[in-house]
Structure 1
Amino acid sequence: MTPAPRTVPAVDVVIVNWNAGHHLHDCLRSVVQADRSELRVARIVVVDNASTDGSAARLAAADIPLDVVRNTRNRGFAVACNQGAARGDSDLVLFLNPDTELYPDSLAVVGRVLRTPPRDRIGIFGGLMVDDRGNPQISCSRFPSLRVYLGKMTGLDRLAPGLFPSHHLRPRELTGSRPVDQVIGAFLLVRRKVFAELHGFDERYFLYLEDVDFAWRARRAGWLSYYVEQARVHHTGQVSSSQLGAWRHYLLLRSRTTYAFRHWTAPRAWALLALTVSVEPVARLAAAVVRGRWTELGPTLAVYRTFLRWFRQGGRRCSEG
């Protein structure tokens, strides 16, 4: 009897772009050139958040169907991811940053993992982020806590990491493939049924922590996140966000406040807010003075004033709603 042909799982690749320059074209090329024998790419969806650098022009993906969504304004990362996911129907969705490039075997490695135990309760998969030289970069994170953020604000995560663990798992802390709290969103493979069950990314996050929030809600629903060490992905990092300047930190403040009021007890969330408007700005201003970066003082103060205005004008209600 002739054995039945093996079914190769299909994935829709979603890439959210904002002024990523040539990196978007390099990312698409890497998907096309990847070994797709274990994980078939059914379509690629590029959601462009009103780029002005021409990066979303003349896109091509060879033999893979390509769908380009052009937003007339920057709608944020979470909204754009949800837009992209809604354009496909494959059993898997891969969210890929435009400043990433797959290795030839990245998809094949993950495809093989999908067929091995304990796959049934794994809803999210991630890979090993590496730099230009192949050195490991940040790939996974802990779920954030008040202690994690206090350590980050004050530098105690570097002085006393045993008491104040860092949010991100350092490369030396990752030894082999295993379940983790969260894999970073630069390469995030999700089962579509999990994505649908959780109603996608929470669109209250414009940028930052939408992947953390999603992983936390998935864990509460019984789904694990799994780090696949052999699935290497080149990640340049911060190609788009670095263009925001000081306002990148403003968006981070908004996102982590939203996360705290959504998922922590009220006392802990309010404690984080208190630290955010007292300890953190003082620490950042002091660091700028010590380093002689006088030009950072004004933008830093402006960021915290704007954040406080956002919170007073409805940010808390948005976070708790």
Structure 2
Amino acid sequence: MFIFLYGVDNFRSLEKLSDLKNKYLEKNGSGTDLSVLDYGEGASVENLSTAFSAQGLFSTKRLVIVKNSMLKGSTEVQKGILTLLKANPDTEKDADTIVIFYENGSPKKNGALYKFLFKAAKRQEFTPLEGTALANWALTFAKTLSTEISFTKNALNMLLAATGSDLNVLSNEINKLVNYKNSGEIVDADVVLLVKSKVDSTMFETIEALASGNKSKALDLFHQQLTKGEDVFYILSMYTYQIRTLLKIGDFYWQGMISAPQIAQASGIHPYVVQKSLSQIRNLSEQKTKQMLRDLAEIDFSAKTGKVDPVLALDTFIVSL
């Protein structure tokens, strides 16, 4: 029996491979009839031929794992493997011989070996998760680390915008967050602290320009971020985070509390952040700050539902202030 695992999302494909291997070992504990051939480490066609012909001493079932024969194997190696498979047609239907072809990425779909396995094998392609599927994966993964951990909606959005769909990166960042928080709710500030070690100074400058009414500077800084390769949804989430922080500090400032240390103690926000934010708050009213937050929430919803282009919407947001 042939199984073909491949795709850009090598985190999940490797998980699937490990799962299949572990299930085999649970039923065939000796592992003597398990062969792993990695064509990124010099495996040959002869190695595969030997694995096919080996007789099991302790088990009637054999598992052969063939890694990266297409991504790393030469054209001649791929031809040799294909010739071997065609010369052993019974292997395809032999339930006692399981051959897993694993590719750590997406091989060329016009290759002869790929075309053969696409038709002959039980196959699964692992494409990058997006949208709700990615968010659900992140939440589920976090729960495997701690059942007492949760995310606020915006903290999760910030995290996903910062990591994208690379589950290797995302899993590492979730591990950091869970180890830091241990239990309870992961909030915006946790993501800012750990996923981005510090808020990008350009982000802060943009909000400062917005607060002072310098629209041209804010627009220029926004497009600098895009040019640097920042994800527009990450930028949006950081704007939302910073405006929300201004509003929390402003709640005390607009009621007459103007001392940065006092506001820091009352709000639980770091004194440095409070001190830096006060100069912006002096240029903003409570009404305008709340409206900015509502506008950003509307952009986030409309962009994620495909109603608006997020870059154009943020351009309009900046110009309209």
TM over 0.5: no
Quick check: which has more Rg, 1 or 2? 2
Looking at both structures, which has the greater relative contact order when contacts are Cα pairs under 8 Å and sequence separation is at least 6? 1
Higher strand share: 1
| TM-score, structure 1 normalization | 0.24
| TM-score, structure 2 normalization | 0.24
